[in-house]
Chains A and B, each alone.
Chain A
Amino acid sequence: DTAVSQTPKYLVTQMGNDKSIKCEQNLGHDTMYWYKQDSKKFLKIMFSYNNKELIINETVPNRFSPKSPDKAHLNLHINSLELGDSAVYFCASSQRGAAGGYTFGSGTRLTVV
């Protein structure tokens, strides 16, 4: 009964490969996000979708492509992985306009070698 679940938890891959991270929320929230957390713990917003519509698209290389098939799912596909992509990626969800903050998934630790 996990609220925001993302898979895989760990991902080790070689430079140049393409990989995907999946995220699903069962909270009925209308907005989902992808955050990148670097080694210094800084949380940087990458993308946000509201009811399947892209509403935030930060300055992220176009090798990163989000996809939201429905409002309960937001996946992240990364092409041509680079060493600098190594980080922890968090999916989160919220209900726009409601109190209660964001609910984060447990994170995907991506290591590019």
Chain B
Amino acid sequence: GQQVMQIPQYQHVQEGEDFTTYCNSSTTLSNIQWYKQRPGGHPVFLIQLVKSGEVKKQKRLTFQFGEAKKNSSLHITATQTTDVGTYFCAGQETSGSRLTFGEGTQLTVNP
């Protein structure tokens, strides 16, 4: 079955440093989604990427979808303490099919 792997599992950074989490799928994806879960909270949808090689930005967050549509990354520039949480990627093989989540990257930001 489809597997979505995400690295690193944990990342500790100093405030102001950059952060990147990587996501790899065992199969080609129709789309990839990213979610953020604050400590004690629930996953919140951030963005969806659908096109090969697509790059989208949300303020300090940059999302990329690989050319082969099997990998993706989330990069945060100049982290802030408000960025703390677990970031999940999740992929679908076809639109409307099962959404498979990666294991998540837990980000800690030291002030």
Contacts and interface: CB of A to CB of B under 8 A. Distances in A.
A41 B106 contact: yes
B48 A99 contact: yes
A64 interface: no
Interface residues of B, number: 22
A66 interface: no
Nearest to B101: A43
A45 B98 contact: yes
Contacts, number: 48
Q: How large is the interface on A (under 10, 10 to 19, 20 to 34, 35 or more residues)?
A: 20 to 34
24 contacts: A41-B86, A41-B103, A41-B104, A41-B106, A42-B103, A42-B104, A43-B88, A43-B101, A43-B104, A45-B99, A48-B98, A90-B42, A92-B43, A99-B48, A101-B33, A101-B35, A101-B46, A101-B48, A102-B43, A103-B45, A104-B42, A104-B44, A105-B42, A106-B41
User: Which 5 residue pairs across A and B have the least CB separation, nearest first?
Assistant: A101-B45, A104-B42, A43-B101, A96-B96, A97-B96
